[in-house]
Structure 1
Amino acid sequence: MSKPLPSLARWSAICAFAAAAALSAGCASGPSATPTTEAIQVKVFVAAMFEIGQNTGDRAGEFQHWYERYWKDAKPIAVPGALKPVYCNADGVCGSVLGMGKVNSSSSMQAILLNPKFDFSKAYYVISGVAGTPPQRGTIGEVNWATWLVDYDLGHRWAPEENKAGEPSFMPRKGYEEYRRFQLDPALVAWAMKLSADTPLKDAESARKYRMRYPDAAARRAPFVGTGTHMTGDTFFHGPGMSKQAQYIARLYGADDYVITEMEAAAITLVIQRTHGTDRVMSLRGAVNFDQGNPKETTLQHLDPAPGETAGGFAETVENIELVGSRVVDHIVANWPQWQGGVPAPR
């Protein structure tokens, strides 16, 4: 014989009691039953653009020396939308390979910045990698901190033969004023130079011989740590004509002389600017090639060199980048109470 069904009033009371008990139990056990993972506070983020093979144990690209210094024991953190995982150590130093070119690198940077696993509210950034340099201002193996970042591609261009002889064949496009150039914090650049200018740099015999092909005093220098404008362009330009145009653009925008050609920094900085500003952004590049040939070779010969005719010094330059950059990274982390609120006053 079945039991009689409870009255509607009694049924409502039973449901209310059950709901209250469940809510009480959930409140009592919630924090321990479903713990939340606290976001990693990023103190310094190191961005590289490519790695040749593995992160360690083979020929080093832009990331390997950083990885071996800071993240050999770190677990990769997958980030949807980013090219490669992020690695972090216990000191709050994180890094990743973002990809080459403006779109590739900036899309990875945005995915990482917006991921809730990380807290970038107080982070400093080191955008690092290899680059080219004009022989009038730099040399193979040098390492350079950016004072300005200038986008080479944003504007109008036309063929030189369609212009009056000697006049520029580039004109800025209106509407790009806010993101075609970035002046990086002079106080932060000054700190970077103070901490790293005397770093002993590696050199190679092949690079020393290659420099002697150029008559410029700057090109013949041994590797050094310097500053200047970094010119960002997806166009991998070569030759004295394109170099002259790049210098024209830098001066047109009120920046320092360009000393580095690279493909990512201005785009990455724009992404950082829209989320956290640019006060803590650094761009660090090592020169592995000249952006034009010597007087005895054509631009095409320089762009596509015969076997044995390359600059040399690549392995030494990627090591130099980390040697210089890690001095700044280590100082910021070791003195975090003074740096977390912003760049300290010079001393």
Structure 2
Amino acid sequence: MFIKERFFYLSFFTTMLMFCSSAQAKTPEDEIKVKVFIAAMFEIGENSGDKAGEFQHWYNQYFADSKPIKVKGAHSPVYCNSEGVCGSVLGMGKVGSSASMQAITLSPKFDFTKSYFILSGVAGTPPNKGTIGDVSWASWLVDYDLGHRWKAEEGEKGAPTFTPRKGYEDIRRYQLNPELLNWNLHLSESVSLKDSKEANDYRMRYPNAEARRSPAITVGTHMTGDTFFHGPGLSKQAQYITELYNADDYVITEMEAAAIAQVLDRTTGTERIMSLRGAVNFDQGHPNETTLQHLDPAPGETAGGFAETVENIVLVGSETVDHIVNNWDVWEDGVPKLEQK
């Protein structure tokens, strides 16, 4: 009898323990259902009240009243508002940004099953394709690496010094959803971009018509590389890589998007990814400076327009964020067809 009583009480307490644990566990209703996630790569100081980096204008517009949500393995806290818009600073470079994105997407605190992602930040642009202050939507994300490189003098004279390495075909490029890209361009077509005298003065050092124009909204390939490359030779190589991969012309150089896309491809899919970059520098010097002088400019020789560009990014991107959230019943199950008038 004693043994049966012990067995009964042991079973009873085990059942109660399991019940309590289950009651305390999070349910799907506790998860934050994310409609749009905004990923920035760095912030200069605080999220508000000082010089703005990539996240501050997003924070001021969407998260000023939000509390930080810490996620193990992420670079910075996540912020979410009551409308289902969330955002965070992921960290710079392929490894840091993608590690943060993976930690966040795998966190049980969030439901990303129907989320749209805006990968947002500053970037460089070739002077024959863009200018300071431009805001660019990506049609393709291409990895600058994942191949073989050699010094020019060690190969055939005048020939390219890069070749792709086999085995990376599925991760070296991502074509972003063309229908979503069309929506981005449609929603932002009437946005008026900010500019500055300093940026305009700097543009005039370049002979290219594209470099000398006012800021505009552009579209093309965003090239991801941890190497902050400079000079006409490496810019030409970036364009060569996009042609090898049958992507659109290279218009933006950045350090994170293709790596983040790989994480999202494994966790949520790529159909709802958007890459939005603002050009704050050219990827090469003007005719009167060397590549090294451009890489390490003397005082007064840097490009202006940084403050205006980080604001331009949010002016453009918020049109898409607001439209998706305000029309969630249409966007929840996928990108709707854009009816062109």
Mark yes or no: TM-score above 0.5: yes
Deviation digits for residues 295-324 of structure 1, max 9, x if unmatched?
111111111100010010000000000110
Task: Give the alignment's TM-score, normalised by structure 2.
Answer: 0.95
- Give the alignment partner of residue 168 of structure 1, picking from 160, 170, 184: 160
Q: Show CA shifts across 1:78-107 (max 9, x none).
A: 000000000000011000000000000000
User: Residue 34 of structure 1: which of 24, 42, 49 is its match?
Assistant: 24
Distance 1:198 1:161, change over 3 A: same
The 3-state SS of whatever aligns with 1:285 is strand
Structure number, greater radius of gyration:
1
Aligned to 1:275: 267
Structure 2 partner of 1:3: none
1:289 and 2:281 are equivalent in the alignment: yes
Paired residue for 1:332? 324
What secondary structure is seen at the aligned counterpart in 1 of 2:159? coil
Match of 2:129 in 1: 137
Q: Return the match for 1:49 from 37, 41, 53.
A: 41
Question: Secondary structure in 2 aligned to 1:193?
Answer: helix
Q: Could you tell me which residue of structure 2 aligns to residue 95 of structure 1? A: 87
CA shift at 1:23, angstroms? Answer: 5.2
Match 2:114 to one of 99, 119, 122: 122
Q: How does 1:3-18 map to 2 (within 5 A)?
A: 8=1, 12-13=4-5, 16=8
Q: Could you say what the CA RMSD is over the residues aligned between the two structures, in angstroms? A: 1.8
Q: CA–CA distance in 2 between the matches of 1:324 and 1:260?
A: 16
User: What is the deviation of 1:12?
Assistant: 3.0
Q: Which amino acid aligns with 1:44?
A: V
Cα deviation for residue 154 of structure 1 reads 1.2
Give 3-state SS (helix, strand or coil) of 2:118's partner. strand
- Report the secondary structure of 1:219's partner residue: helix
How far does residue 346 in structure 1 lie from its aligned partner after superposition?
Answer: 1.2
AA aligned opposite 1:232: T
Which residue number corresponds to residue 201 of structure 2?
A: 209
Identity of aligned residues (%): 66
| C-alpha spacing 1:275/1:302, structure 2 compared with 1 (3 Å) | same
Query: 3-state DSSP class of the match of 1:346?
Result: coil
CA distance in 1, matches of 2:6, 2:157: 92
Match for 1:241 among 213, 233, 236? 233
- Tell me how far apart the structure 2 counterparts of residues 330 and 224 of structure 1 sit (CA, whole Å): 21
Post-superposition offset of 1:158: 0.5
TM superposition shift of 1:34: 3.4
TM-score, normalised relative to structure 1: 0.93
Q: How far is 1:22 from its partner?
A: 8.9
Unaligned runs of 5+ in 2: none
Query: Alignment partner for residue 60 of structure 1, among 32, 52, 63?
Result: 52
CA 1:239–1:30: 2 relative to 1, 3 Å: closer
Matched, 1:111 2:103: yes
